[in-house]
Amino acid sequence: MRRRSALRAVGAATSRLKKAGEVQRHAICAASEAGASLREIAAEARLSHEQVRRIVGEQGEVAPYFVTVERHGVSPLKRRLLVRARSGRMAGELAAWMAEQSSGGMFEAVDVSRARAHERHRAEEVFDDADLWRLPDLDD
């Protein structure tokens, strides 16, 4: 009986700890949006500056990424897309999904890089399609 109640206490404490972590992350993001510096937030939260930067970055804004996707198999195909996402991993997944929807088959992201400001404004190479931009196919 003691063992079971002790394990329940561990589960309850873990649940409370996770909820407290979520509340702390929301408070850190709110403080950042209110104009507090990352160092001020880190001191108040008793975390390192780097930990606070990561937490704020996770909630960060959408950024543009160039993603090269490839389809393997009978009819190989390579495409380069410009997508907006919160992280490079998310950009790769989104670009692969977009390529699969438009061309069929299974695509995988083989290269992901952050797009520079001057690269994403070349209208002759980029078109907008519901906030997702696609560049012409690569010749490879």
Mean pLDDT of all residues in the chain?
79
Residue in the block written with tokens 């952050």 = 114
How far apart, in whole angstroms, are the C-alpha atoms of residue 110 and residue 114?
14
Contact by Cβ (8 Å): 108, 96: yes
Within 10 angstroms of residue 55's Cβ, the number of other Cβ atoms is: 23
What was the pLDDT predicted at 120? 54
How far apart, in whole angstroms, are the C-alpha atoms of residue 94 and residue 19?
29
Phi, psi (rounded to 5 degrees) for 110: -110, -15
Report, in angstroms and rounded to the nearest whole number, the Rg of the chain calculated over CA atoms. 22
Give the start-to-end residue ranges of the domains of the chain.
2-58, 63-134
Contact by Cβ (8 Å): 67, 91: yes
Beta strands in 6-87 (DSSP E): 63-71, 77-85
How does pLDDT run across 89-140, given as a tens digit for each residue?
Answer: 888 888 888 888 888 888 999 999 988 765 655 433 343 333 444 444 445 4
C-alpha dihedral, 36 to 37 to 38 to 41, nearest 10°? -40
Residue in the block written with tokens 């880190």 = 42
What was the pLDDT predicted at 50? 87
What was the pLDDT predicted at 70? 92
CA 29 vs CA 25, 40, 41, 90: distances in Å: 6, 13, 9, 20
Give the end-to-end CA distance of the chain in Å, rounded to a whole number: 67
